[in-house]
Structure 1
Amino acid sequence: MRKTTLKAALALTFYGFAGAVLAAPLAYVPNEKSGTVSVIDTATDTVTTTLKISERPRGIAIAPDGSRLYLTDSPTESLIVVDLASGKPVASWKLGDSPEGLYISRDGKLLAAAVEEDNSVALLEAVTGKTLAHIKVKGENPEHAVFSPDGKWLYASAEDAEQVDVIDVAAMKQVAQIPVAKRPRGIGFTPDGSRAYVACEIGNTVFAIDVATHTVIASIPAGKFSNGIAISPDGKRVYVSNGKDATVMAIDTATNTVVGTVPVGKRPWNMAITPDGAKLYVANGRSDTVTVIDTASLKAIKDVPVGSFPWGVVIR
């Protein structure tokens, strides 16, 4: 009787521990050259699973309820839908020539994909895959198209541009342009939606934008080839990756000044932050690693090996 009780207690302890570990957010990393997605447990900062889903995954988004993962795949010009319960692809939706950045609205209803060779942003229903529009933008070779928190706007960046293109989601058309510097890349909105930050790669500058007026309110010098943007859940810090410097900078949004710089791997690209804001995950495209940064100390605490040419990270 005692042995049975002890075994039952140990089993409960084990499953309770396993449940706690599994409850930690997972980071999903598309590896462009490997054609895989690395799944990192953020509790242990180790790769627990590698998914073989598409030929060349780049843009990545996850449904708010965690049921689906969405990926752009360049060779097939499509958006791949993955059921996360099984880890298997369940749908493939055509997008256009050379799709890249992919984003989902906060309510999980809409997807926006930057389609480079079409110079457009594809807007789709996230559940059915129905294409609602291919919205032409002024910038050539669009790379990112990010929803504002209220879902009213899409801000789009492009490799051959010196502006951020503003799309009215309800009207499904571009309605404004915000002058910045050459080659705008990563874009992020503060949680309250009042500001957006965009990194300009050739301009080596991050621009703070007032969303209500679609105007620049500050320009912040960054490192060489600034590109990725991530914003803390409390909106107090913006993180920017500097590709040629192999660093990540932290910007205080109260003052729009740089408050710290962290060395990471080669060619840091797109990034994501945990829901509690404690850790930042940086995809290092030329090191085939993800650097984990402790945001409190602004120190790199681990480099996690992943596949070849990691493009970015999403966390849930």
Structure 2
Amino acid sequence: MRLSFAAALLTLSSLAAAQTPSGPRLLVLSKSEHTLAIVNPATLKVEARIPSGDDPHEVAASSDGRTAYISNYGFGQFHTITVVDLLAAKQSRAIDLTPLRGPHGLFFADGKLWFTAEVNKVIGRYDPASGKVDFILGTGQNRTHMLYVFPGTRRIVTANVNSGTLLILDRVDMAAAPPPPPGAMPTPPPAPPGYPQGAILPPGGDWFPVVVPVGSRGEGFDVSPDGKEAWVANAGDGTVSIVDLAAKKVSATLNTSTKSANRLKFTPDGKHVLISMLSQPDLVVLDTATHKEIKRIPIGRGAAGVLMQPDGARAYVSCTPDSYVAVIDLNSLEVVGRIAAGNPDGLAWAVIP
């Protein structure tokens, strides 16, 4: 009997381990159910549903695949980011951002979580190691919504919906002083632009902003894989603004007839851009070389979040009014599957160890 009981426990433990999500996984937020779903991309089946906190809008995974962070937005009503342990498939805690309110856009880079807080018009940074918000930077723009952080965190780009702008922030550090000639006194390092000679920059350098006007209600945006351009979908006038990130100005404006645009994403190879629209039945596909529309993919009654599979095989689109995520084959540009997810919005990719 003891051996049978031990064998039964071993079997149950093995089943539990087998059911714990691991490997590449799609993370899907449900606004109506207040959950985060962990989806197996091979089977398109939901393996776990975890409480997400109030009004979940965006989700980002840590680089090691162990943790997911969820912004509890509420149009400024809420002030938390919910933390999910992906290995245990359970909510671990909530980060209280008070006095920052309305967290929305999330981006995990260089071991830290970057976020926007709309009410306060700021970008913040949370350090998981210390458990504290260790950096806050004002934007001076209305509804700082989504953000993109470059590798090395030397450049940040944000879309500011109500201001109709794209903000480019570049970090500048104090330049190193040239070595003095033998026997000479050392000279102070050259000051960065805009600083008097001998000025000392704050720890971590300083940030230099450039505000680029785009179209009406520019919200969904993405940076091209080569880092040279940002494309902004303007929900108010149905255009796309292409911003040259070196020149820091709009290089082209495309009339794409995409009013109510919500998200815009580059395919991993940079050849196409996909645009979702909240109140339109199609996903718009643009050719990045010609700037021309090549297809409209029927997906439902409207859509929000768009996520690219890292290998470029598929895209996932949150069809919020229809309560499913549409799976798009990026070779055929056709819908090849659906994932049941109540009122889905934010999406992320995680490789769970």
Normalising by the residue count of structure 1, what TM-score does the alignment of the two structures yield? 0.86
Q: Which string of whole-angstrom CA distances, capped at 9 and with x for unpartnered residues, describes residues 117-140 of structure 1?
A: 112222222443422332222321
Partner of 1:39: 38
Matched with 2:69 is 70
CA distance in 1, matches of 2:62, 2:292: 33
Question: Which of residues 92, 95, 108 in structure 1 aligns to 2:94?
Answer: 92
Give 1:274's aligned residue: 309
State, as a whole percentage, how many aligned pairs show the same letter.
25
- Between stretches 64-73 and 89-98, larger displacement belongs to 89-98
Q: Output the CA distance in 1 between the equivalents of 2:344 and 2:96.
A: 23
TM-score, normalised with respect to structure 2:
0.77
Per the alignment, residue 245 of structure 2 pairs with: 211
Deviation at 1:244, TM superposition (A): 2.0
Unpaired stretches in structure 1, ≥5 consecutive residues? 1-14
Residue in 1 that maps onto 2:321: 286
Cα distance in 1 for residues equivalent to 2:206 and 2:322: 39
Deviation at 1:171, TM superposition (A): 4.6
Equivalent residue of 1:312, what SS? strand
Q: Distance in 2 between matches of 1:220 and 1:80?
A: 37
Aligned to 1:234: 269
Deviates more, 1:189-198 or 1:143-152: 143-152
- The C-alpha deviation readout for 1:55-105, integer Å capped at 9, x for no partner, is 222121011221111111236511122221112233422232121121112
2:127 paired with 1:125: yes
Q: Would the aligned equivalents of 1:199 and 1:226 in 2 still touch at CA under 8 Å?
A: yes
Do the aligned partners of 2:51 and 2:91 also contact (CA within 8 Å) in 1?
no
Q: Which has the higher strand share?
A: 1
The 5-angstrom pairing of residues 137-286 of structure 1 reads 137-169=139-171, 171=205, 173=207, 175-222=209-256, 223-286=258-321
Q: Can you list the C-alpha shifts for 1:31-72, whole angstroms capped at 9, x where unaligned?
A: 122110122211122222211232222121011221111111
**3-state SS of paired residue (1:269):** coil
**SS in structure 2 opposite 1:268?**
coil
Question: Which one has the largest radius of gyration?
Answer: 2
Offset at residue 149 of structure 1 (A): 4.2
For structure 2, which runs of at least 5 residues remain unmatched after alignment? 1-14, 172-203
> Aligned pairs, how many?
295
Give how far 1:315 is off: 1.6
Aligned mates of 1:57, 1:168 — CA distance in 2: 30
Q: Which amino acid aligns with 1:61?
A: A
- 2:70 counterpart letter in structure 1: L
Q: CA RMSD in A?
A: 2.2
* Structure 2 CA distance for aligned equivalents of residues 30 and 239 of structure 1: 20
The offset of 1:112, in angstroms, is: 1.8
SS at the partner of 1:281?
strand
